[in-house]
Amino acid sequence: MLKKGAKKLLRAVGLQRAQVAAARMAAERTGLATLSANRSDRTGGRILAYHSVSQPQTGVNDVSLERFERQLDLLTDLGFEIVPASTIAADGGQPNQVAITVDDAWTSAAEIIAPVLRKRDLPWSLFVVSQWSDHTDEWTRDTILNWDALKRLQGEDLEIGSHSVTHPDFAKLARSEIEHELQASRARIEACLGFAPTSFAIPFGQSMNWTDEAQAIARQTGYDVIYAQAENTRHPATIGRTFVTKFDNDRIFRALLNGAFDNWEEWV
């Protein structure tokens, strides 16, 4: 049985189906890696979407520190160049280019991910849920970075973008709610961190979580780049990202880099 707080947290991050979904996801990742491990017809760069490292509260989204470092080693061994996500977003990038992005601003982004990447002198992006970083919800206080922590994290190697106010499913929102989630998160980041972000990562990020209306409002709000969390199935005006899961061992991660999961979505 999960404790009450943990249940609330799982609900908040959309993992209410965590146990069944995790078993299914593990099977899908292994199966697809076997079937299509050698497929590679990619012409552009690849943006990886992480959530947390060695912070198991995020369930299937969490990657262990050992595995995260191993994945960075693999990227180097395989000849990839790690560039800012904005570089790939700008013109598609090159097939040997990869970017690291991190969603939600879990505490491990500052405590584990930033030190690992900075030691290796690698650029990265972080997408912040403004109300979570306000720490108004009790569950966020020990799990999510607040604005002071984000301020300390700021640096030339890090691009910070918006990930909405409350992490909703945009497909279920009224127009006024879409406007609020996009505008108020941007304004809050500007007030707290001193700049208005021009990139936005779609909460949940799958094809079903974004609409033409949301895309148009996002552009009007001032976001130049809108990142999905899917590749071939994403909204066509968004930039694709490849989701890295808890189950991605060396073999699955190599398959992922070869496109084995480019038609795969987490929640469908």
CB of 229 to Zn ion, least distance (A): 8
Closer Cβ to Zn ion, 33 or 48, answer by number: 48
Q: If 0-12 CB within 10 Å is exposed, 13-18 middle and 19+ buried, where does residue 172 land?
A: exposed
Stretch that binds Zn ion, among 118-126, 136-144, 202-210, 258-266 (CB under 5 A): 202-210
Closer Cβ to Zn ion, 101 or 258, answer by number: 101
Q: What size, in residues, is the chain?
A: 268
CA nearest to 104, candidates 83, 82, 125, 118: 125
* Span 103-132, contacts to Zn ion by CB under 5 A: 103-104
Q: If 0-12 CB within 10 Å is exposed, 13-18 middle and 19+ buried, where does residue 127 land?
A: buried
CB of 31 to Zn ion, least distance (A): 25
CB of 165 to Zn ion, least distance (A): 12
Closer Cβ to Zn ion, 197 or 203, answer by number: 203
Stretch that binds Zn ion, among 26-34, 102-110, 176-184, 208-216 (CB under 5 A): 102-110
Please give the distance of CA 197 from its chain centroid, rounded to a whole number.
16
CB 229 within 8 A of CB 205: yes
Backbone CA torsion sign across 262, 157, 56, 238: negative
Q: Verify binding: residue 181, Zn ion, rule CB under 5 A.
A: no
Stretch that binds Zn ion, among 149-157, 174-182, 199-207, 250-258 (CB under 5 A): 199-207
Stretch that binds Zn ion, among 31-39, 79-87, 96-104, 188-196 (CB under 5 A): 96-104
Please give the distance of CA 59 from its chain centroid, rounded to a whole number.
14
Using CB under 5 A, count the residues that bind Zn ion. Answer: 3
Give the Cβ contact number of residue 119 at 10 Å.
Answer: 10
CB 110 within 8 A of CB 117: no
CB of 129 to Zn ion, least distance (A): 7
Closer Cβ to Zn ion, 61 or 97, answer by number: 61
Residue nearest to Zn ion (CB): 103
Question: Token pair 């497909």 is at which residue?
Answer: 171
Closer Cβ to Zn ion, 104 or 265, answer by number: 104
- Write out the H or E segment, with its range, that includes residue 132: helix 130-134
Q: Which residues bind Zn ion (CB under 5 A)?
A: 103-104, 203
